[in-house]
Structure formats: C-alpha cells, structure tokens
Structure 1
Amino acid sequence: MSSLILTTWGHAGVRLERDDHVLVIDPGTFTDPRILDGADAVLVTHEHPDHVDVPRVAAALAPEGGPELWAPAPVVELLTGAGAPAARLHAVDGGASFDAAGFAVQALGQVHAAIHPDLPPPANVAYLVDGAVLHPGDSFTPAPGGVRVDVLALPVAAPWLKLAEAVDYVRQVSPRVAVPIHDAILNDAGLALVDRVAGGLGGDGYRRLAPGEPLEVRTA
C-alpha cells in the first residue's frame, strides 16, 4: 500500500505531498501563503476569496516552470484577468478526471451549497485525489459509489452550513479520518464547540491537525 502526506494550512487550504511532488487545494485569503511554496499543481474548488487568493495564486503561476491549476471556469477567468499564464490554467467540471503532478484527480459535483435563496450559488467542484482524499470545497458532495475515502476534509463552519449537516456528511462518507477545515470564522471557543460536537457525533476518526502537522494518507 502506498501513501502520501496531508497537511492543513488554515481554513480550506490543504497540501498533499508524495515523492517530492506537491498538490495544493484551495489556497485562499484565510490560508497561510506558505501553502504554495514548491507547489507543482493547484486545485481550486470555487471562486470565493477564502478558497482562492487571486493575486497571490496568479503570482505563483507566473514564473517559468510554475505550477498548473485546475478549477471551475469562473476561477480560470479571474486568474486570467489577474495575469496568470493561460497555458497553465485548466477549466474543469464535475465528472472530469485528470493527472495533476502525478496525483490522480476526480472532479465531483457542480454547485456550491445554498447560502440563501436570494443568492445564486456559484460553481463548486469537489476533488477526490488518488481515490483517498476528498476535499468538497463549499459543499457536501459525496464520494463516488464504492469508494472508501481515507481522509475527508470536513467543512465545519460557514454561512451555508449547520453543524448537524457536517456530522451527517462525515457519517455518509465514513472516512478513516475526518479532518476539520473551513473554520477561520471561529474563535477558540467556537473551535472547541465544533470539535466536541462533530468529534463526538462524527466518529472516532475525527482529528484536528495543527497547521503543518503531517497526516499519512493511505492510498491503494
């Protein structure tokens, strides 16, 4: 069985490393900018700033030999407008499969979870990496049928989210480990409450990572 290393870098930012290859997911404005250091590929779930810091990501893509990026079309348009090289930008929809710096990626789902009926939801693509790590962005997109997710990046706090929904989502996906993300709007008391409820009801695999703390992911 092979493995990769997962680290979290604040809010929705997740970094995956294997064999000197680095894949970054959702490097947004609430995420430590060091998440992009040495990145070979970047995945963005949707256009909200807390998931993509457009100026910073465009700058990371600009140098010769910089990383490639996959994201829904609205994100690609934002980055193109910010000067990111078009040759490194790839628009994806749910259902697409591709290789990103040696990682096998499946794009899942299409739409951001509803915030309010008066706010049209933007495109949102979840990513399943190496059949083992599921990052849903701002959604509760399930894993494909028959896939046993090893690590779920679990959103726990947002205007579109109730904590009960997060608990039900981790129960539905049933990963070996659920790592809470999307929590920059919480203070220490809020984080403790979320961990107590989601950790207590979501199963024994719930585990909060300190920024940069490594977690080994089991892949097939």
Structure 2
Amino acid sequence: MRLTKFGHACVRLEAGDRVLVIDPGTFSETEALSGAAAVLITHEHDDHIDVDKLKAARDGNPRLTVHTHPALAAALGEGVAAVAPGDTFTAAGFTVDVVGGEHAEIIDGLPGCPNIGFIVDGVYHPGDSLVVPEQAVDTLLVPASGPWLKTGEAIEFVRAVRPVRVFPIHDANLSELGQENFDGWLEEEAGIDYARIPLGTSVDLRQSGAADQRQSTREC
C-alpha cells in the first residue's frame, strides 16, 4: 500500500488501482482527489473538508463514495454514508474501522463537535483527537499542531498506540523550524520509527522503515 501526504491533514492511500482519500480540506491540493474511489471525513472543520472540492469530485465521478459521521453526512446530503464508532465497512476495497467520537477539547468544552477516526488496513488517521483505539495499528498519522494539542500529548499518544511507524499530519500551521522542532521531540522521545513525508510524496508501507535519518533538532 502506498501512502501520499498532501496538505495538512490529507492523505491518499493506494493499492493497485484502488484509491482512498482521508480529510481533503482547504489546505490540501485538488489533485489529492484525482481518481479516488472513496473519501473519508473525520469532521466538519474546513481544514479537513473542502466542500467545493468534494462536490466537484463527486460531480466528476458519481460513483465516488463518501463516509463521515452522521451529523456531517446529513449536512452534505444525498449519497453520503453515515458511520459511527464501532462500525467496520469497506471503502475502495480497503477495510475501515471507525473509532473515537469527539473532537479534542480546546477550552471550556469547545469546539464540542463530533470527530471520528479511521483505521484503514492498519493505517490510523485520528482526525482532531488523541483517541487510543483497541485495534492494532501499523501506521499512525500523528497530529503535529493545533490549538487543542501540545507536543507532550502527541508523544504520549504515540507511546499509547504503539504502532510500527509514525508520520506527522495536521501541520500546515507550523513553520519549517516548528516542524523540525516537533520532529526532533518525536524522534527522541516517542520510541517508535518516525519520519516526515514531504508534501506530495509517497512511501511504500511495505518497505518504509527509518525513512528519514535527519539529525534531530530539539528546542525548548
């Protein structure tokens, strides 16, 4: 299976001619949806769903399936499948487990909206949450930045999930220095094979190991 990192929280999974995209938001590139058979949306925030891009993709391919939590499915209208934590379904030939349920809190109970994570054939995209699933995870996509997140929480999340490998997502708000700082902490403290996928490039999950051997830079 090949994993391609697009802008911010968007990733594309491919196996043969099967293509599935998760969270194509306003910070991601339109080409992420090219040829996709299925789209998974964790929650309704614009950095995770670009409604106009998604509509254009569905207009261009009426067979494109979309799966998300019930409230957002209802808002998006006909043809969008509602899924909930505990569900298992098939999308673009991939097996998908649904976990989580709530967006991580920023402050005072906000934003207080649903958020579901997806485990796609062992690849876990948590959206805006740090829910540790019961299922085994081979590849964890760890959020790197957000008003609801600090670096120590990301490290604890990785340690709790205990995947084989980790790649960062949700990082559009980080400068290059901020990305290097986050990478340095994760490389030194998470205890897991960690690497950053440059935007628009791919890794083969059957072969990825210590894909990025850069010297870590950690700042206080």
Q: Scaled by the length of structure 1, what TM-score is found?
A: 0.89
Identity, in percent, stands at: 42
How many residue pairs get aligned? The number is 206
Contact 2:123 2:138 in 1 (8 A): yes
Query: Which of 70, 76, 80 is the aligned partner of 1:79?
Result: 76
2:134 pairs with 1:144: yes
Contact 1:12 1:181 in 2 (8 A): yes
Specify the SS of the correspondent of 2:195: coil
Paired letter, 2:205: V
Paired letter, 1:135: H
Contact 2:166 2:192 in 1 (8 A): no
Post-superposition offset of 1:120: 4.2
Structure 2 Cα separation of the partners of residues 60 and 66 of structure 1: 10
Q: Please show how residues 106-125 of structure 1 align to structure 2 within 5 Å.
A: 106-125=97-116
Deviations 1:65-122 (A, max 9, x none): 4410000123223322xxxxx13x1011111110101000010011010011152411
Q: Which has the higher contact order (CA 8 A, sep 6+)?
A: 1
Structure 1 Cα separation of the partners of residues 85 and 196 of structure 2: 28
Q: Please show how residues 40-59 of structure 1 align to structure 2 within 5 Å.
A: 40-59=37-56
Contact 1:134 1:143 in 2 (8 A): no
1:83 is matched with which residue? Answer: none
Unpaired segments ≥5 residues, structure 1: 81-85
Paired letter, 2:189: L
Post-superposition offset of 1:32: 1.5
Deviations 1:30-75 (A, max 9, x none): 1122110110000000000000001111221123544100001232
1:205 is matched with which residue? Answer: 193
1:192 is matched with which residue? Answer: 180
Contact 1:47 1:74 in 2 (8 A): no
2:119 pairs with 1:128: yes
Q: Please show how residues 12-23 of structure 1 align to structure 2 within 5 Å.
A: 12-23=9-20
RMSD of the TM alignment (CA)?
Answer: 1.4
Contact 2:117 2:126 in 1 (8 A): yes
Post-superposition offset of 1:212: 2.6
2:216 is matched with which residue? Answer: none
2:150 pairs with 1:165: no
Contact 2:162 2:192 in 1 (8 A): no
Unpaired segments ≥5 residues, structure 2: 207-220
Query: Which of 78, 83, 87 is the aligned partner of 1:96?
Result: 87
Structure 1 Cα separation of the partners of residues 188 and 177 of structure 2: 16
